[in-house]
Amino acid sequence: MKIIAVIGAGTMGNGIAHTFAQNGFTVKLIDISEKSLDKGMATIATNLDRMVAKGTITAADKTKTITNIITYTEMEDGVVGADLVVEAATENVDLKLAIFKELNTLCSDKTILATNTSSISITQIAAVVNHPERVIGMHFMNPVPVMQLVEIIRGYTTSDEVTKTIMALSEKLQKTPVEVHDYPGFVANRILMPMLNEAIETLYNKVAGVYEIDTVMKLGMGHPMGPLQLADFIGLDVCLAILNVMYDGFKNPKYAPCPLLVNMVRAGKLGVKSGAGFYDYSQSKKAEKISEQFI
């Protein structure tokens, strides 16, 4: 594989594009908004600058990585000639199905189609394309350039050949791929999201405050970031969407999102990206400090 198309220039999309480009692949980064593409490329440049400052990469590596990325606002132009398409759009099933229906008409039958979904069924997505055996999940962790894990999710019809190809490709990105099967939440979020939800329930029930809950989990359990701060970093809207997918999929009340989480999302308090969640990020430097812990 040489040419990788990435759909979506948001947090996950620009991180995935960064990672492929840094490892020598030609990347076609696609988004319907030129503004989003500019913001995504600026984020990549900033993260590369941090890596240069820390001595992780050289200035020449940064230049080469940026050069390896080409941006597009038209899907048709971006996916043509791609060996692999990685969809990293918003975690919305209708949007993802629409994108894959379009990819079905634009891409060769031999093009592998991957989704970065963190919870939506790979089998459901694959059902809207010809040759569903070529559809697979590549669930990268945030921040993508530094997190080692990639969950490789096999849909019901995903072929052994495609799975082996994507596992090997992930290793070329200097990641550790782990093969899992297609059930709501997969492994990472099936375990993580109930923990975050329980931390929110603990706050909702006034057992302890935000700082106290996070401190217990950091100092007592050795977590690098408390669960409420982590929820802010992920995005409370994303957490809510994943919990809803799991609740709908399993019909088990233990996955039902806490009312406090629902209300915060309704109020627009989404975490770092909105400037406020369980913590206040109204000053941009506060948000930058969180990113700097990782990149």
* Residues of the binding site for NAD(+): 8-13, 31, 91, 96, 118, 142, 273
Q: Give CA–CA dist 97/79, Å, rounded.
A: 17
Omega before residue 177 within 30° of 0, cis: no
For 290, phi then psi, to 5°, come to -65, -45
How does strand 135-140 pair with strand 149-154? antiparallel
Closest CA to 279 of 205, 224, 214: 214
DSSP 80-133: TT-SEEEE---S-HHHHHHHHHHHHHHS-TTSEEEE--SSS-HHHHHTTSSSGG
* Residues of the binding site: 8-13, 31, 91, 96, 118, 142, 273
Query: Pick the catalytic residue: 118, 170, 197, 274?
Result: 118
Query: Pick the catalytic residue: 68, 116, 170, 189?
Result: 189
Query: Pick the catalytic residue: 18, 36, 47, 139?
Result: 139
Query: Pick the catalytic residue: 36, 116, 151, 170?
Result: 151
- Give yes or no: 189 in active site: yes
- Give yes or no: 139 in active site: yes
- Give yes or no: 131 in active site: no
- Give yes or no: 197 in active site: no
Distances (CA, A) of 75 to 102, 104, 170, 184, 254: 9, 12, 24, 28, 39
Distances (CA, A) of 67 to 12, 26, 54, 62, 71: 20, 9, 21, 9, 11
- Catalytic residues, by residue number, are 118, 139, 151, 189
